[in-house]
Amino acid sequence: MTDPAATDLDARYGRTPRGRRPVLLIAVIGVIAVAALVWLVRVAFVQSTPPVSSRLLAFAIPSDTSATATIQVEKRKDVEASCRLQAKAADFSIVGELTLTVPADSPRQQTLPATLTTQRAATSVVLIGCTTADTARPH
């Protein structure tokens, strides 16, 4: 038997017996959370395994009109890469620039020398990074 006082309070405050709404809401939130997690893992994997990566190993400034650098490039076997280097002066202005092309049939990992012609004396060489036809962001 139901308590008449409890029934009056339920009617007064608009409480109804719980139905399937909370279960459905939890299921929808769960599906959204799983979809978001799958997207996050996919994006993290794609961003952590670029088709080409590079690093500057060394640079030297042999004269006022040239700079040399050595870079290491690691790429997928079937990918052609373009690697961009810049020579900078003491005031951080760009005084020379060079783009190296790494052919698709070259070894997966290689060390490349580069000589940049400069407009005036450079103080450093910066590796901007390497890109492929599919990626615009240098790595």
Each residue's pLDDT tens digit, 31-87:
999 999 999 999 888 778 888 899 999 999 999 999 999 999 998 888 899 999 999
Q: What is the pTM of this model?
A: 0.67
Cα-based angle 33, 34, 39 (whole degrees, multiple of 5):
100
Beta strands in 14-123 (DSSP E): 52-63, 66-75, 81-88, 94-102, 109-117
Give the residue among 86, 108, 107 at the shortest CA–CA distance from 96.
86
105-111, Cβ contacts within 8 angstroms, sequence gap of 24 or more: 108/74, 108/75, 108/76, 108/77, 109/72, 109/73, 109/74, 109/75, 110/72, 110/73, 111/57, 111/70, 111/71, 111/72, 111/73
Per-residue pLDDT, averaged over 85-112, amounts to 93
Distance CA 127, CA 97 (A): 10
Q: Which two tokens stand for residue 97?
A: 């620039």
- The lowest-confidence range among 31-35, 46-50, 112-116, 130-134 is 46-50
Q: What is the pLDDT confidence band of residue 133, given thresholds at 50, 70 and 90?
A: confident
Greater pLDDT, 68 or 23: 68
Q: What is the pLDDT confidence band of residue 4, given thresholds at 50, 70 and 90?
A: low
Per-residue pLDDT, averaged over 99-128, amounts to 93
